[in-house]
Chains A and B, each alone.
Chain A
Amino acid sequence: DAGVIQSPRHEVTEMGQEVTLRCKPISGHNSLFWYRQTMMRGLELLIYFNNNVPIDDSGMPEDRFSAKMPNASFSTLKIQPSEPRDSAVYFCASRGQAPWDEQFFGPGTRLTVL
């Protein structure tokens, strides 16, 4: 299994631009999580999906952030418009059928907003 796949691995953009991060979860997993990691705040959960349905988006910082999961094998996290304070590493993770299963993380996307 290829594990969780994220793209791009690095993204540099200018303030005000739209950014789209992509994730392919592990086949057969039915839960998907988006996290953001910074030195100041550590690893924070932004949103998670179960069976493609958003369950909890309380961690999404503001309306500039949106996430979709159109099918079981693909999810996107979009930031529009981007701001310098959005600079961070964004991780996607997926989990198997049981809620107590471990989460498997992707390699992350390092976002820099100038």
Chain B
Amino acid sequence: EDQVTQSPEALRLQEGESSSLNCSYTVSGLRGLFWYRQDPGKGPEFLFTLYSAGEEKEKERLKATLTKKESFLHITAPKPEDSATYLCAGADSSYKLIFGSGTRLLVRP
């Protein structure tokens, strides 16, 4: 069965303290690995898509990487406004997204 697992469930960081979020996947025929950000009371907001192992993408303080088994979202020198839930999702062979349960990130000033 296709599955996406995220860790940790929650992460507390001080402002400026860099860290990484993990997304492990077992999705047969993976068509892409998607990262979304979700703020309370809002819908998920698209961040990145990674299509092949070794690929990396960056946006401001965020960098996403992909291997054959997992993806990482690296957050460099985070700010309080980076606090949110980060969701990853694997696209299966029919491009349906299978979401992980998310990592709740809190960045304290």
**Interface residue B16 (Cβ < 8 Å from any Cβ of A):** no
Identify which of B17-25, B56-64, B69-77, B94-102 touches chain A.
B94-102
Contact A42 B102 (CB under 8 A): yes
When distances are taken between beta carbons in the complex, the residues of chain A under 8 Å from B94 are 56
CA of A4 to CA of B95 in the docked complex: distance in angstroms?
20
CA of A105 to CA of B89 in the docked complex: distance in angstroms?
14
Query: Which chain B residue has the least Cβ–Cβ distance from A45?
Result: B96
When distances are taken between beta carbons in the complex, the residues of chain B under 8 Å from A105 are 36, 43-45
When distances are taken between beta carbons in the complex, the residues of chain A under 8 Å from B45 are 105
Query: Which chain B residue has the least Cβ–Cβ distance from A106?
Result: B43
**Interface residue B87 (Cβ < 8 Å from any Cβ of A):** yes
Per the CB 8 Å criterion, the residue count for chain A at the interface is 18
- CB contacts between A and B, total, < 8 Å: 45
A88 CB to nearest B CB, Å: 14
When distances are taken between beta carbons in the complex, the residues of chain B under 8 Å from A91 are 43-44
The contact string, 1 if C-beta is below 8 Å from chain B, for chain A 1-33, is 000100000000000000000000000000000
When distances are taken between beta carbons in the complex, the residues of chain A under 8 Å from B41 are 107-108
Per the CB 8 Å criterion, the residue count for chain B at the interface is 24
Query: Which chain A residue has the least Cβ–Cβ distance from B4?
Result: A42
Query: Which chain B residue has the least Cβ–Cβ distance from A40?
Result: B101
When distances are taken between beta carbons in the complex, the residues of chain B under 8 Å from A106 are 43
A31 CB to nearest B CB, Å: 9
A-B contact pairs, 27 of them (CB 8 A): A42-B100, A42-B101, A42-B102, A43-B44, A43-B89, A43-B99, A44-B99, A45-B98, A48-B96, A56-B94, A56-B96, A91-B43, A91-B44, A93-B43, A99-B95, A100-B31, A100-B32, A100-B49, A100-B51, A100-B91, A100-B95, A102-B49, A103-B34, A103-B46, A105-B36, A107-B41, A107-B42
